[in-house]
Amino acid sequence: MIRPIKAILLRNLLKLQRDRMKLFMNLFMSGLFLFIFSFLMKSTASGLDHPMNYLISGIIIMTVFQSALSNSMNILEDISSGVMKEILVAPITRWQIAIGHVLSTMVVSVIQGLIIVVIGLFMGLSLSFLSAIAMIGLMFLVGLTFSALGLYLATLSKESSNFQLLITIISIPLTFLSGAYIPTIALPTILLPFVYLNPLTYTTAAFRYITLHMEGLSTTELVKAGVAFDIHGFIISPLLSLLFIAALCMLFFVLCVNRFNSADFSRVKIFKHAH
């Protein structure tokens, strides 16, 4: 049961290793956002301790999120090229194929996130052993959550052009309303309902709580730092955020496996630019 999943996982990792341009572009965008928003952070986050570390932690988890979504398009490429047809006739079940693809995308997204972590260490980010372990564990959870969502959307769209458009429509507003680049405390009040409905808000908050060693802060201080949220007197703590992410992970995972089991891949199209 494990061997087919492992084979798909290793194949997709090898495929990414050969496609170094995709890896470079994802990391380049993270570095670009780090450069641009570092100036904004200095002017809007005067009440935060170590604002650059605050920004770096947000960019790390956004790298994992965006990589998990974008790399899910590999499944469409496999279907269009005929590779998936060969896999489907093998003596393995569809759910094993789905899990193999989700896990490979998750691992790739975590690797890209870890590269940003290394860059952050050179920029002053400090991590204890326990916080590093907890941080990596949360990165795997977030990678698994949005890899599952990405596979679900890929099998739903069935065309790479539609999938890329869908990912853009989803990722841009979720990213900028999550507090990853601009602290939620600096956003206009009118946007707060959208911030609270955004799952990435709680992903970013839980990740910052772990990465920036905020265990000793009071609830009031956590709310002020944008790591806990006071919604009409109801406090959403980092622990509640973590539980929400875990529930979301289970939901997306079940949805993507069920969708993959029933999907018709005979009409999948890959958009290619004309030369």
pLDDT one-digit tens code per residue, 177-218: 888 888 888 788 898 999 999 999 999 999 999 988 888 888
Asked whether the beta carbons of 92 and 4 are under 8 A apart, the reply is yes
What does the pLDDT read at residue 274? 45
Average pLDDT, the chain: 81
Mean pLDDT of 225-238: 90
Nearest to 72 by CA among 157, 4, 7: 157
Question: Tell me: the pLDDT tens digits for 232-250?
Answer: 889 999 999 999 999 999 9
What end-to-end distance do the CA atoms of the chain give, in Å?
43
What are residue 234's DSSP bridge partners? 231
Contact between 35 and 116 under an 8 Å Cβ cutoff? The reply is no
CA distances from 145 to 109, 140, 207 (A): 11, 8, 14
**Model confidence at 44, in pLDDT bands (50, 70, 90)?**
low
Instruction: Report the percentage of the chain scoring pLDDT > 70.
Output: 80
Give CA torsion, residues 91, 251, 139, 79, to 10 deg. 40
Compute the distance between CA of residue 37 and CA of residue 59 in angstroms, rounded to an integer: 10
The mean per-residue pLDDT over the stretch 105-132 comes to: 87
Assign 89 to helix, strand or coil: coil
Query: What is the pTM for the complete model shown?
Result: 0.85
Residue 212's SS3 state is: coil
